[in-house]
Homo-oligomer: A and B are copies of this chain.
Amino acid sequence: MITSDVRQKAHKGRLVLRQLATLTEEEKNKALMKVAEEISLRKEEILQANEQDRKGAIEEGVSQALLDRLTLTEKRLDEMAEGLRDLARLEDPIGEVLDTSTLANGLRIDKVRVPLGMIGMVYEARPNVTCDAAGTALKTGNAILLRGSASAIHSNLALTKVIQAALKETAVPSEAVQLVEDLKRSAVQEMITANGLIDVIIPRGGAGLISRVVKESTVPVIETGVGNCHIYVDQAAEPEMATNIVMNAKIDRPAVCNAVETILIHQEWANRYLVELCHLLSEQGVELRGCPETQKIFPQVKPAVESDWETEFLDKVLAVKIVDSLESALTHINRYGTHHSEAIVTDDSATAQLFLTGVDAAAVYHNASTRFTDGGQFGFGVEIGISTQKLHARGPMGLKEMTSYQYRMYGTGQTRG
């Protein structure tokens, strides 16, 4: 018996999976262009729906940051439409033959890239995710079931309606993109336990959402996002380079996951250069929280408490710890890090190599800012999230990361044994 909103839609999506998997690149690109066009044409309607969400959020007294994430503007809608057009210009990964071999008996084995199938996306606030995720799913021949947060329901409904209307005029079945309208918490629970109906769950949002989904999902999950990133400034770090990298990684965009949250400074470097670095950070409005050794060198810092080492501040706050060796830095990072992005600044390449191989993270840096962990920077053209797990995909996920593969075996009657 299929009754609930989630199961009904997941089931409807599954029914078009075969059709989606065999769409041509041209059919998919035309659909993306059509959706982009429809969004541009129906901006007014989407913005009105967004205004309803904004009013509700203001009444509820949400933070300015959340309100910002919720807000759509003409410019943002233009960017969303442009993002879809960019997707149309990217290469279609589906059908790529990744490997081929022929057994002695003549049986040919092709390893072929195929869609994942039905993707369940659980996300918070940002309505642009609705459009980005739908576009990425379309391009890769996947169906997607979207479950945004209640605060963005009007925006998400309007966007999905526009997307589906556009698809109806294309070769792509409109069931490829569906929105869960059930706002109860139990709807998320249904999604993450819909084995057999949903092939993969991708959560996007805060640490609370991600950890709930990882813990409670029985459907395979791609864990994304939380970035408690570190920069280790080694004793052999060039002072100006280290200073620039730390400043950039903290200040450029403090609210994103690849911003630095804790710096680990070698004692010798700290003795000579940390005071100036702390001054520069403070001048930029960064609140520093330091370990006892840091407090000795720069008494103006707030004392750091245990939770500061664990926190992704996503704000102009930076924890500072002085360490006596690479080993201490690695131990700290492997204890508190979230496997996202970790950097070392040093002129000693042997130390750098030990750091890079010793840190368990998606992206490890020698002498560069952690801010480069990003699908755009990696040349993926699109980013559906940054995976912090080790299975399937790691780091920025683009189109290829939204695919699986299948072995296709071509024979002439081969049997075994």
Contacts and interface: CB of A to CB of B under 8 A. Distances in A.
Interface of A: 17-18, 21-22, 101, 103, 107, 109, 116-117, 195, 199-200, 214-216, 218, 220-222, 238, 241, 244-245, 247-249, 252-253, 330, 356-358, 360-369, 371-373, 377-379, 389-392, 394-395, 404-417
Contacts of A372: 103, 107, 409, 414, 416
Contacts of A371: 415-417
A407 B252 CA distance: 22
Contacts of A391: 116, 199-200, 220, 222, 391-392, 404
B366 A410 contact: yes
Contacts of A218: 214-216
B103 A409 contact: no
B367 A248 contact: no
19 contacts: A21-B357, A22-B358, A117-B360, A200-B391, A238-B413, A247-B415, A248-B415, A248-B416, A362-B406, A363-B408, A364-B409, A368-B413, A368-B414, A368-B415, A369-B416, A371-B417, A372-B409, A394-B405, A394-B406
A169 B357 CA distance: 24
A166 to B, nearest CB: 25
B417 A199 contact: no
A360 B22 contact: no
Tallying the copies of this chain within the complex gives 2
Q: Is the interface of A mostly helix, strand, loop or mixed?
A: mixed
A358 B415 contact: no
Closest 7 A-B residue pairs measured CB to CB? A368-B411, A248-B415, A390-B404, A371-B416, A392-B392, A241-B413, A368-B414
Contacts of A365: 409, 411
A142 to B, nearest CB: 10
Given A101-B379, A404-B394, A413 B367 contact: yes
Contacts of A414: 367-369, 372
A95 to B, nearest CB: 9
Contacts of A117: 360, 390
B417 A253 contact: yes
Contacts of A357: 18, 21-22
Contacts of A416: 248, 252, 369, 371-372, 377
Given A364-B408, A410-B367, A248 B195 contact: no
B245 A413 contact: yes
Interface centre among A366, A395, A409 (most CB of B within 10 A): A409
A368 B103 CA distance: 12
A76 B304 CA distance: 59
Nearest to A343: B409
A79 to B, nearest CB: 17
Contacts of A362: 406-407
A361 B214 contact: no
Nearest to A414: B368
Nearest to A404: B390
Nearest to A116: B390
